[in-house]
Amino acid sequence: MSDHLVSVAVPVPMPQAFCYRAPRDCLPGHRVKVGFGRRTLVGVVVEVVKKPPPGVSTIKPVKAVLGDAPLLTDSAMDLLNWCARYYHHPVGEVYAAALPASLRQGQVLPEPERAWRLLDDAPSPAANASRQHVLLDALRAAGGMATADALPAIAGRAAVLRSLLERGMVERCEAAATPPVATTPAPTLNAEQHAAAQAIGQAVAAGDFAAFLLDGVTGSGKTEVYCAALQSLVAAGQQALVLAPEIGLIPQLITRLRQRFAARVETLHSGQTNAERARVWADARRGDISILVGTRSAVFTPLPKLALIVVDESHDTAYKQGDGFRYNARDVALRRGQLMGVPVVLGSATPSLESLHNAQQGRYTHLRLRQRAGAAQLPKIDLLDTTNLQLFDGLSEPIISAIEQVLKQGAQALVFINRRGYAPTVLCSSCDWVASCGRCSAHMTLHRQRRELRCHHCGRTARAPAQCPDCGSDDLGAAGAGTQRVEAQLRKRFPGIGMARIDRDSTRRSGALEAALADAASGKAQLLVGTQMLAKGHDFAGLALVAVADGDQGLFGADFRAPEHMAQTILQVAGRAGRGARAGRVVIQTSHPEHPLLQRLASGDYGRFASAALDERREAAFPPYGFQALLRAESVDAQAAPAFLKRAHDAARAIAAAGIEVWAPNPAPMERKAGRWRWQLQIEAKQRGPLHALLGELLPQLYADPQARRVRWSVDIDPQSMI
C-alpha cells in the first residue's frame, strides 16, 4: 500500500507535532512507534498532512502502527488539541497525559474481561470430581456468574474451568454483562433538590451543552441530585463521567452509586495498577461502563455514549495539575461538554469565585440548595479569641473543655489543623538559629516519632539536633503545632479515648486511610485530628464539634486567592459537624476575631463572603475580572532563571498590545526549592484573546532561545497558586 504523510504527537517537550511517512490505513488517532533522535517513542497520529512542514527535507517512516483501529476518536482528539492550544503546552505531552501508562508505552488495548456463567440445564459432575464441585458451588454462590479471578484459587483452576466448558456446564461471557443489583432506593427529594434534578435532567434529555452550578450547603443532598439526574441516562444505556478532586473521596462515591444503580460503575485514579487503569479505560472507551468516577486525569477518558459530566467539589484546587501540563480538570470538563454537546454540573458547597461570577453572568444556570437534607441543621460557628490565652500544643483551655463536654455526651469531636508533622519550626532560644532546609527557602518540620527534621518541599530529612548547631546551647524549642503535636496533647488530656489522626503521614500505608475513616464513621474513634484530608466530603454522623486550631492561617497571605481558599476549607470542615441527628458546633481559634473575613465566615453565609471577595477582585482587576498567565523558570545557577525571564519580559513588552500588563520578573514566593532558584513572570490582561495571542507569539521565541537549555521553564495558564 502506498504511503501518506502524518503529523504525530510525540511525547517530547517541544510544542509541535512531527511529520512521518505512514501506510495509508494509518489514520488520526492511531498510535505509532517512531524514531525520534536516537530513541524509539510511541506517539499518536494527529492528522494527515499534504506536505511536510517548511524546511523539513528528510521524512522518516513510522516504525510500526499499533492496533487495527485508531485508539482515539476525533472528539477525544478535538479536546486534546484544544488543551495543547489553550494551555500552550507541547502537544505530545498533552496526548501522553491523556493515556494510561501502559497504552502510552505501546501495550495492546486490553480485551474485555471474560466471565464464566453457570448454565441452567447443566448436568451434574461426577461425585468424585471435587474440584469441579468447588467451582460450580462458588459460581452458584456468586449468583451464577463470576470472573475467573473471583473464583477460589484452586490448583489447575483454568483447566478445571475448561473441562466444565467442554461438558456444557458453564459458558463464557463478557464480565461487563454481569448485571449488578441496586440495593438502596432513592429518598424522596425535597423541593429544591427536585427542581435542580429536573433542570439537569431536561438538559440531558435535550442532549446539548449546558452548564449548571449546583450550589448547595454541606449536607444539602447534592449527591442525591446527581443520582436523580443520572437515573434516566443510565436506564437509556448512556454514559456519565463523575469527577472527584482526590482519591480519598472516591470510595464513598462509588459505594453510593453502586447501591443506587443496577449499572456498571467503575473508577480511574492514581492508586490503581497500570493494568487496572488500562482495563477500565478500555472498557469505558468501548461503552461498557455506565458511570466512570475518577480524579483529575479521568476527564480525558473516551466515553462514546457520554451524556452528562459531574464535577463534584468543583471549587477544589486539586483539579488543577500542579506541574508539567498544568490543566484544570474542571475547565477541561466544561470544554469537553461544549465540544460534545453534553451538560456539565459543577457541584460545591463553596463554589469558586470564578464559577459564581459565571453564574452571575448567566453563563451557568445557578441551582441552589439552601437547606440540609432530612432533619440535619447547619452548625453554629463561634470565633474564639486566643490573644490572651495560653496554648497547650496549639490548643487553648476553652477548646479543650468544649471537646471534653462533647466526649462526655458520647459524641465525636474533630480538630482540624492544616499542617502535618509535630511542629513547623525548630529554633534556638539563645541565638537566632532556625532549622532550615539547605536546598529550599523553607523551615524543616519536626516529626516526633523518629526525632526527625523533614523538609515538606523537597523531602530532605535530617536528625533533629540535641544542641544548637550554631551556639551549642541546649535551649532548642519547637514553635507552632502540627497534627502530631495536637494528637499528643489530646492523648495526654483524654487517655483511653479512641482517636484517629488523618494526614499524609498517617495514611501512607495502603489501606490506612480506609481503616481510619472506617473507625471515624463507626464511632470507634471518638476524637479525630487531621488536615484537609479530613475536611472534605466525609459524613460522620456522631460528630458534634469541629475545632479549627489555626483560624489565622491564610488571613494575611500574599496570594490573592488565600482568603477564598481559607473560607472554602473552613466551611468545608465546619460542614462535617451536625450531619446526623445531633446539632453541630464549630469553634475557630484566632488572634484576629475582628477580621472581616472571619466575621463573615462566622455568619456561615458563604454567599456573603463571596460577594465581598468578588468586589475586591473587581477593584484589583484580578480573575475573574482579568486573566493571568505565569511564566515560571528555575535553574541550578542563580543567574540563569532571572536572565531568561528578563529576556522573556523584554520580548513580551515588545509585542504586548494595549490592555496587557507584563510585570517585571520576580523571585517565586519560595525562591529556592530542591536546590533550584525559582523565578516567575506574570502577565495580566483584561481579555483572554489578546493574552493568548501574545503567548502565541512569545513562546516560539522562547523555544528558540539558545540559553533556554540552562533553565527549566513552563507556562501556567489561569494559575491557581504562585508558590
| Residues 369-388, interacting with ligand ADP (CB under 6 A) | 373-374
Strands of 230-274, DSSP E: 239-243, 265-268
Candidates 93, 215, 224, 288: give the one binding ligand ADP (CB under 6 A).
224
Candidates 216, 482, 642, 665: give the one binding ligand ADP (CB under 6 A).
216
Residue partners of 166: CB distance under 8 A and separation at least 6: none
Burial class of residue 279 in the structure, from the number of CB atoms within 10 Å of its CB (0-12 exposed, 13-18 middle, 19+ buried): buried
Inter-helix orientation angle 562-574/606-620, to 10°: 170
Tell me which stretch binds ligand ADP (CB under 6 A): 166-174, 216-224, 243-251, 471-479: 216-224
H, E, C per residue of 158-181: HHHHHHHHHCCCEEEEEHHHCCCC
- Kindly write out the interface string for residues 413-432 of this chain, putting x where it contacts Zn ion by CB under 5 A and - elsewhere: ---------------x-xx-
| Residues 345-374, interacting with ligand ADP (CB under 6 A) | 373-374
Helix segments in 87-190, DSSP class H: 91-98, 101-104, 130-141, 157-166
Helix H or strand E segment including 384: strand 380-385
* Residue 38 DSSP SS3: coil
Distance CA 302, CA 289 (A): 11
- Answer with the entry of Zn ion, ligand ADP, none that 468 interacts with (C-beta below 5 to 8 A by kind): Zn ion
CB of 363 to ligand ADP, least distance (A): 23
Distance CA 387, CA 261 (A): 53
Q: Taking Cα atoms as reference points, which of 686, 572, 668, 682 lies closest to residue 629?
A: 682
* Residue 373 DSSP SS3: coil
Of the two residues 483 and 572, which places its CB atom closer to ligand ADP in the complex? 572
Neighbours of 251 (CB within 10 A): 15
What residues does 667 pair with on adjacent strands?
Answer: 679
CB of 506 to Zn ion, least distance (A): 22
CB of 251 to ligand ADP, least distance (A): 14
- Kindly write out the interface string for residues 533-552 of this chain, putting x where it contacts ligand ADP by CB under 6 A and - elsewhere: ------x-------------
- Kindly write out the interface string for residues 168-207 of this chain, putting x where it contacts ligand ADP by CB under 6 A and - elsewhere: -------------------xxxx--x--------------
Of the two residues 371 and 483, which places its CB atom closer to ligand ADP in the complex? 371
- Answer with the entry of ligand ADP, Zn ion, none that 204 interacts with (C-beta below 5 to 8 A by kind): none
Is residue 245 close enough to count as binding ligand ADP by CB under 6 A? no
- Answer with the entry of ligand ADP, Zn ion, none that 253 interacts with (C-beta below 5 to 8 A by kind): none
Distance CA 680, CA 714 (A): 10
- Kindly write out the interface string for residues 28-67 of this chain, putting x where it contacts ligand ADP by CB under 6 A and - elsewhere: ----------------------------------------
The pair phi, psi for residue 112, each rounded to 5°, is -60, 140
Inter-residue contact 117 to 145 (CB < 8 Å): yes
What Cα–Cα distance (Å) separates residue 114 from each residue in 229, 278, 613? 31, 15, 54
- Answer with the entry of ligand ADP, Zn ion, none that 193 interacts with (C-beta below 5 to 8 A by kind): ligand ADP
Tell me which stretch binds ligand ADP (CB under 6 A): 213-221, 354-362, 500-508, 523-531: 213-221
- Kindly write out the interface string for residues 429-468 of this chain, putting x where it contacts Zn ion by CB under 5 A and - elsewhere: -xx-x---x-xx--------------x-xx-x-------x
Q: What letter would DSSP give residue 425?
A: E
Burial class of residue 77 in the structure, from the number of CB atoms within 10 Å of its CB (0-12 exposed, 13-18 middle, 19+ buried): buried
Inter-helix orientation angle 640-655/688-703, to 10°: 130
Distance CA 584, CA 546 (A): 8
Is residue 473 close enough to count as binding Zn ion by CB under 5 A? yes
CB of 498 to ligand ADP, least distance (A): 23
Neighbours of 636 (CB within 10 A): 13
Tell me which stretch binds ligand ADP (CB under 6 A): 221-229, 325-333, 490-498, 655-663: 221-229
What residues does 52 pair with on adjacent strands?
Answer: none
- Answer with the entry of ligand ADP, Zn ion, none that 433 interacts with (C-beta below 5 to 8 A by kind): Zn ion
CB of 506 to ligand ADP, least distance (A): 24
Of the two residues 228 and 437, which places its CB atom closer to Zn ion in the complex? 437
Tell me which stretch binds ligand ADP (CB under 6 A): 68-76, 219-227, 426-434, 666-674: 219-227
Inter-residue contact 214 to 365 (CB < 8 Å): no
- Answer with the entry of ligand ADP, Zn ion, none that 439 interacts with (C-beta below 5 to 8 A by kind): Zn ion
Candidates 178, 223, 484, 531: give the one binding ligand ADP (CB under 6 A).
223
CB of 386 to ligand ADP, least distance (A): 30
Residue partners of 69: CB distance under 8 A and separation at least 6: none
- Answer with the entry of Zn ion, ligand ADP, none that 428 interacts with (C-beta below 5 to 8 A by kind): Zn ion
What residues does 672 pair with on adjacent strands?
Answer: 677
Of the two residues 218 and 445, which places its CB atom closer to Zn ion in the complex? 445
- Answer with the entry of Zn ion, ligand ADP, none that 88 interacts with (C-beta below 5 to 8 A by kind): none
What is the distance, to the nearest Å, from the Cα of residue 671 to the centroid of all Cα atoms in its chain?
Answer: 26
Q: Which residues of this chain interact with ligand ADP, rule CB under 6 A?
A: 187-190, 193, 216, 218-224, 373-374, 539
Q: Which residues of this chain interact with Zn ion, rule CB under 5 A?
A: 428, 430-431, 433, 437, 439-440, 455, 457-458, 460, 468, 470-471, 473
